[in-house]
Structure formats: C-alpha cells, structure tokens
Structure 1
C-alpha cells in the first residue's frame, strides 16, 4: 500500500471549517494499475469545488482539502461500511463502481476486506484526524463553530435519483446536525437565489455531517451538495472522457458563488452569536 499524503489544510481563526473530502484526484500507482480507466476512477470527483469556494480564505475559514481520489477511499462514508442511505443506490467506502454503475476495477482486482482496512489506516484516518484536530482547535477558541461540508454531483444520474437534482441541496441529517436557526437562515438564502433547492432531500448529509455535527457541544454541521450545472457548463445526461470534466469558468460560476458567499457569511454570523 503506497504511503499517504496528508490533506491540505488552511488554518484559519474564524469559527468556520470547510471540509472538501471529494476534491482529490491522486491515486497510488499500485491501485491505479488495477483500474479499468484512470478517467472512470476520477469521473465522480467533486470537480472544481476548491476553486468555487476559494473565497473562503478571505473569511479566514479553516479549509481541509483531500488529496486522494474517492476511488481510493470515500472520506464521507462510515468507516464500518454501514450504508448512510439504506435501500438506495450508492457507492461504498472503497467504491468498486461509478455512480453510473460502471466497474472501476478489472475483474478480480477489487479490494478485499484486508486491503480496505489498510486503506482506512493509510488514507481515511489522516483526513479525519486533521478535520477533528481543526474542529477541536477552533472549538477551544469559540463558543460555537460551523463545519460546512462541500460537495457537488452531476445533475442527472438515473441510478441515484430521478430527474434533475435541485441546484442547492442542503443536508442537516434531518435537523439533527445543526441549530434550527442556522438551518433556517441558510435555507432562506438558497431559496432567495431563485435556483431550485431542497433541504434534506436525496442528500441529507454524509458521514462528516452526521459524525461531527454535535449542536449540544457547540459544533454545528451542514452539507451543501451542488448540482454541477449550478456552477459549471455541465453537459446533461451521460458524459464521456471527451466532454467531462468541463473547464472551470469563474464568470459562469459567479451567481452561485455569490449565494455561497452569503451562506458562509450567515454561518459566521451564527457562530459569532
């Protein structure tokens, strides 16, 4: 098992932590040689989310950004392998297929239980230790903080959900991961954007939101899942290596970035009381 690189961290002083667990595209050579296609292995990354949220540094937010691809290990899954969405199609802790159901590994090359355990030690735990350490550091400085988990996904993936996903998908673990006042304020902001939106719809928040959101301990967690069409010129329907991912266009992304800036400002206002 190749050695891991630590997640990239911006250490801020504001009571706000951004988690970017699916922006990584690195894959160790000993894993990549077993994959059907390097492109398929990176197809479901949260493309350009780091660029979209780059303004968070101006707010002095802490940013924890993954280095490794979600194909290596999915940092937003329960490490025990328990499904976060029972009864619905999803991908696992160490995915063996894409969101569209395409095989990621050559037959017989999928990771076994021993390898999955090794990947947890090598790739999963460093990210979560970094995230937990930053939460603890900031919690010692502030009475309450907000953990904001940043995600995106293609707008139409029939295997995962019917029709087109709303542009803004706010997840709060069905209201358990954050104070109702914070959730209501963020919901109002995305509603005011004029774009389609939902709270606790198909995506209620993954492991990070559910695990770290402890309002009773002053840690409030939200997940924002963005449909890609909200910030990039996404081709609708099936995508190919020839047209995915598309380039990031800051001008095209500007309206969504403006809404997200208002969301993070609201998170800071809440945390500061």
Structure 2
C-alpha cells in the first residue's frame, strides 16, 4: 500500500512559506497551548480511533480577532469526544486527538479547500475550493453557526498557510503514521473517525449516523457490525444521511488496500447539555456503548486477519 503522505500539501507550503517562521504572537500562543495533536497507544489492535473536532484550546489572539463571542465559536465543537472514546481506547486501539478547534483549522477538509474571498489578496493557484470551501466551511473556516462571519476583516493568506503548516499537517502526519503502523502490523485497519452532531430532524433525529462515503470507504460488513451493535443497545441509527463522511473518511478509506474508514456521528444530547456544554448523566452510558461497539469491531477485524 502507498504511504499516506501529503507531498502536494508540502509543495504548496514551500511556495507560500519559504523558510518563514511562525510569528512571535503565534509562538506565544504555542507556549501556552498543548501540542496540536496528541497520540496515545500502540497498534495492538487493527482499529484506530480519531477525534479531529473535539479540541478545546482557542488561541487568545484568535478569540480577540473574531467578531463572535467564544460561546458562538464553540458551536461546532465536538466537545469531549476524546473522553467518550477513553474506554474504547483502553481496549487497545491507538487514539489520535486534535487539541485545536475546527473553527480555527478544520482537518476534515482538504488542506487548500479555502474560500478565496476571505483573503486580502488573490489566493495562490493551488487553492482548490469545493462547494464546502466556497460556502465558508473550508480548512480555515470563514463562518460559524448560522452562517455567522468569524472575522472582522479579510485575513492575509499567510495566516491561513501557517495554520495549515502548524495544525493541519501535524494532525494528518500523526493520523497517517498511526494508520500505516497499524496496517503494517495487522494487514488490515479500520479508522473510526469520531464526531458529535446536533439533532437532525430531517433524518429523523438518529442517535448515530454512520458515514462510509456511500459504501466507498468501508466494507459493508464492518458498517453492519457497528450498526447492529448500536441498535442492540437501543440506539437509533442512520447510514450516510445527513453525514456521509468528510475529507478524512474519503481520503483514508481504501478498502481494496486493506484500509477502511468509518465516520461516526453521535447526537450531542445523548451525553451533554448543548447550551452549557456540560456533561450529563448519559455521558458514561454513551462511553460504554462506544466501547462495546469498538470491542465487536476489534473482534471482527481479528477474524478478518485470521482468514485474510
């Protein structure tokens, strides 16, 4: 299998940042900040857990520059998902966790999926905005909840490029390394990309949405195993509606090469009060459910190893 690298991203960075160091202000923030990505565990099992959107460190300069209060900036945060994964992580899978928030840099978008209209000067030609980027929800988002503008003014493109270098790249390098190590050891790997979601009435308010890029990123038997496990515990599930999987699922899911990726969205009301972002009594029940589902997936993956 090909190594999971991002050489094209590096080429773009080299063109925009030829040896440019981080700014003094950024270095000050980084001194107070945790590492952009935390990785724990070894490839004991064929499953890798990831939480790309639960980071809760908001750089002070970013908050001050935003036209939105912190409560609004946090509206897209998948709060505590890495904590929800703790019991599943204890079963053996590696856990990869971003500590920065998606409103600051969204690793579930392609690196150069940016809205050119948010910059002071024309964007470089390697910027390739999808409809998500053009709507303001690219790798450096322009908007937050209810289409609210994040920034008071247009930003220098250099600022976005620094975020790609210092946050997006470290996360994907860590995730790719974890997947490569696991695949090398087990010859098959399942990435569980963990997220949380608000109620989605248009899909019947499921408790979980399982996204496999409409069958392209993960073997159907693995999706079925996850679905049956959750349903046996009384949860309502949906497949691909309204979330079929973002960049991570689509980029890393390569079933023919032994690498499967499944995006799992969990309804926030199951474990926290959405207005206050406080955990409630359902937190540990959901944590246990994720652990039970992961345990069954690990067993399924082990059977695949033995027969592969």
TM-score (norm 2): 0.76
Q: For this pair of structures, how many residues does the alignment match?
A: 256
Matches within 5 A, 1:1-273: 1=23, 2-3=26-27, 5-12=35-42, 13-36=44-67, 37-81=69-113, 82-83=129-130, 91-106=137-152, 108=153, 110-155=154-199, 162=202, 165-234=205-274, 243-245=275-277, 247-249=278-280, 251-273=281-303
- The question of whether the paired residues in 1 share the 8 Å contact of 2:88 and 2:290 is answered with no
Whole-Å separation in 2 of the counterparts to 1:198 and 1:48 = 22
**d(CA) in 2 for partners of 1:116, 1:26:** 18
CA deviations over 1:104-135 (Å, ceiling 9, x no partner)? 222x1x43433222211111000000000111
Q: What is the rounded CA distance, in whole Å, between the counterparts of 2:40 and 2:221 in structure 1?
A: 28
Q: Name stretches of at least 5 consecutive residues in structure 2 with no aligned partner.
A: 1-22, 114-128, 304-308
CA shift in 2, pair 1:56/1:124, >3 Å: same
Secondary structure of the residue that 1:127 maps to in structure 2?
Answer: helix
- C-alpha displacement at 1:30, in angstroms? 3.3
Shift of residue 212, structure 1, vs aligned partner: 0.8
CA distance, structure 2, for counterparts of residue 210 and residue 244 of structure 1 = 33
1:226: how far off? 0.9
Aligned to 2:9: none
Q: Does the CA contact (< 8 Å) of 2:136 and 2:142 recur in 1?
A: no
Deviation at 1:223, TM superposition (A): 0.6
Structure 1 length as normaliser, TM-score? 0.85
Cα pair distance change 1:39/1:10, threshold 3 Å: same
Runs (5+) with no aligned partner, structure 1: 235-242
DSSP 3-state at the match of 2:262? strand
Higher fraction of helix: 2
The CA deviation at 1:83 is 3.6
Q: Distance in 1 between matches of 2:157 and 2:261?
A: 31
For residues 131 and 272 of structure 1, do their structure 2 counterparts lie closer, same or farther at Cα, with a shift above 3 Å needed?
Answer: same
Of residues 213-222 and 89-98 in structure 1, the stretch that sits farther from structure 2 once superposed is 89-98
**Residues 161-182 of structure 1, C-alpha deviations (whole Å, 9 max, x = no match):** 7476321100001111111211
8 A Cα contact 1:144 1:218, kept in partner = yes
Aligned-pair CA distance for 1:86: 9.5
- 8 Å contact kept, 1:91–1:99: no
Secondary structure of 2:242's counterpart equals coil
